[in-house]
């Protein structure tokens, strides 16, 4: 209640800076040697979100308070994070981030302007600002995509080799023998959700059938990963969730979900949209939190909820393994490793940056509203892009750098217009 519009804008800036940087520690040399499971990565974030919220209470910044709405917010956040990682690995980083960021802007517009009637100068002006932000998001995503960089440099004659290289580092591969290479947990998710995986066992047309399904127990037991495996060869390295890394996004492998057929790529797009939908709804329960739990104090409720939901996700995964493997011991062994010796530093630093972004985002949304707060937070895409251009040198062609900054100009224009349209 003591934070005005200027404070909210500063919080949105800090949130974008932190959210755009939290993936950087996960790209250090130590991190790229191990295959980090999506739920493990989510667990590191959950731990730091919980710990930092109580640090604020310990230093007297906030008074400890709790509302069950924090659990509801976490119930949106944990699945959203998992769906986002799945999307990046199946559809690629650029298109996934561009899609879910655009969905966040659109859904937050519906929540903020249409449902909660947040005050803006004109609805048409706010909608125009949202469109500018979406155009900028897609442009920034396109020009910072490593896949775009490789195809731009190699030319049309080398596209076959480029695709082959991309497929060589994809998160999931099925060898000729039928053995499934460890995919960082994504295979487990597919096994749990999908009735059939197209492949050698599918029909001659390449499509699976609802009658011929792969045995999930065989899929899990044949995985090459495990609790004790800390290093992978470069070809099996899980780098797809890192900032500006690529995935085998053009795979046409067909999956069947409840007798509906879809390629991995299209399922990845669906997961990106789901991530955007859930992410834009995470802080909606904040509207119904009591006066003592709104703003910064809400971080404690959110942290507690995140621990509860993440624990439930691990329990469900364990029970899924136990059901198919018919063994509690084998089910435990099938769970992915936390790689604590290697990952505790980058994992905790990444989680700390995420927590800073999350806390700042709570302040921003509480002050500016869902639409403006969430939309301004998408500037994190600009921050991660700047990391890629100036630190990792992932965008080197002059035309691509120029295109990136042109798209960033559109996005910044939309952000400035959003700030102007917002009324306290």
- Write the DSSP string, 269-295: HHHHHHHHHHHTTTTGGGGGS-TTTSS
Q: Is the pTM of this model over 0.85?
A: no
Give the count of domains, the chain: 2
Question: Which pLDDT score, from 0 to 100, does residue 385 have?
Answer: 83
Residue 177 and residue 115 share a domain: no
Asked if the structure places residue 53 within a domain, the reply is: yes
Q: Would you say residue 90 lies in a domain?
A: no
Residues 246 and 347 in one domain: no
Cα–Cα distance for residue pair 295/11, rounded to 1 Å? 11
Q: Is residue 86 part of a domain?
A: no
In terms of domains, do 35 and 11 share one?
Answer: yes
Same-domain status, 205 and 333: no
Residues 143 and 179 in one domain: no
Q: Domain limits at 175?
A: 162-268
Same domain, 75 and 190: no
Show which of 268, 301, 317 is a domain's final residue: 268
Per-residue pLDDT at 24: 82
**How does pLDDT run across 47-76, given as a tens digit for each residue?**
999 999 999 999 988 899 999 999 999 999
Say yes or no: 187 and 102 in one domain.
Answer: no
Pair (68, 172) in one structural domain:
no
- Identify whether 261 is part of a domain: yes
Q: Which of 378, 355, 418, 373 shows the shortest CA–CA distance to 283?
A: 373
Are residues 285 and 206 part of one domain? no
Last residue of a domain, one of 268, 295, 312: 268
145: left (phi over 0), alpha (psi -120 to 50) or beta: beta
What is the 8-class DSSP label of residue 390?
Answer: I
Q: Any residues with CB less than 8 A from the CB of 181 and at least 6 apart, and which?
A: 172, 173, 174, 175, 223, 224, 236
Residue 9 in any domain: the answer is yes
Q: Are residues 312 and 233 in the same domain?
A: no
**C-alpha torsion angle, residues 31, 377, 47, 314 (rounded to 10):** -80
The residue among 225, 245, 268 that closes a domain is 268
Is 188 found in the same domain as 115?
no
HSE toward the beta carbon, residue 129, CA cutoff 13 A: 27
- Is residue 120 situated within a structural domain? yes
Domain assignment present for 124 = yes
C-alpha distances in Å from residue 59, one per residue of 56, 80, 269, 305, 354: 5, 31, 43, 21, 20
Q: 179-201: per-residue pLDDT in tens?
A: 333 444 444 444 444 433 333 33
Q: What is the pLDDT of residue 154?
A: 55
Q: What is the pLDDT of residue 381?
A: 84
Q: Which residues of the chain have pLDDT under 50?
A: 1, 156-250
What's the pLDDT at 329?
Answer: 94
| Domain annotation covers residue 91 | no
11 and 146 in a single domain? The answer is yes
């Amino acid at each position: 209640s003591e934070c005005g519009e200027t404070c909210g804008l500063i919080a949105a800036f800090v949130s974008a800076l932190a959210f755009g940087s939290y993936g950087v520690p996960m790209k250090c040399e130590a991190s790229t040697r191990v295959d980090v499971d999506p739920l493990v990565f989510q667990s590191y974030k959950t731990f730091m979100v919980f710990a930092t919220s109580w640090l604020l209470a310990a230093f007297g910044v906030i008074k400890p308070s709790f509302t069950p709405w924090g659990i509801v917010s976490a119930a949106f956040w944990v699945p959203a994070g998992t769906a986002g990682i799945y999307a990046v690995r199946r559809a690629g980083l650029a298109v996934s981030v561009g899609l879910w960021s655009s969905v966040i802007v659109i859904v937050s517009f519906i929540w903020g302007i249409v449902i909660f009637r947040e005050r803006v100068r004109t609805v048409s002006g706010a909608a125009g600002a949202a469109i500018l932000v979406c155009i900028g998001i897609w442009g920034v995503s396109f020009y910072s995509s490593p896949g775009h960089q490789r195809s731009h440099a190699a030319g049309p004659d080398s596209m076959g080799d480029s695709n082959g290289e991309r497929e060589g580092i994809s998160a999931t591969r099925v060898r000729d023998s039928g053995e499934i290479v460890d995919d960082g947990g994504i295979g487990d998710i597919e096994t749990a959700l999908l009735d059939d995986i197209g492949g050698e066992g599918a029909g001659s047309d390449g499509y699976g059938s609802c009658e011929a399904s792969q045995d999930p127990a065989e899929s899990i037991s044949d995985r090459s990963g495990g609790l004790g495996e800390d290093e992978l060869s470069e070809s099996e390295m899980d780098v797809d969730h890192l900032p500006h890394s690529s995935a085998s996004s053009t795979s046409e492998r067909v999956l069947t979900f409840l007798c509906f057929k879809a390629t991995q790529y299209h399922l990845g797009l669906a997961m990106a949209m789901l991530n955007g939908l859930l992410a834009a709804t995470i802080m909606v329960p904040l509207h119904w939190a009591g006066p003592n739990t709104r703003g910064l104090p809400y971080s404690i409720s959110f942290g507690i909820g995140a621990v509860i939901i993440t624990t439930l996700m691990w329990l469900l995964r364990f029970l899924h393994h136990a059901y198919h493997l018919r063994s509690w011991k084998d089910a435990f062994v099938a769970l992915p490793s936390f790689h604590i010796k290697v990952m505790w530093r980058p994992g905790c630093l990444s989680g700390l940056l995420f927590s800073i972004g999350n806390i700042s985002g709570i302040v921003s949304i509480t002050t500016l509203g869902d639409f403006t707060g969430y939309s301004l937070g998408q500037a994190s895409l600009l921050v991660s892009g700047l990391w890629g251009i100036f630190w990792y040198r992932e965008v080197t062609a002059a035309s691509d750098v120029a295109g990136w900054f042109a798209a960033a100009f559109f996005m910044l224009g939309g952000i400035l217009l959003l700030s102007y349209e917002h009324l306290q």
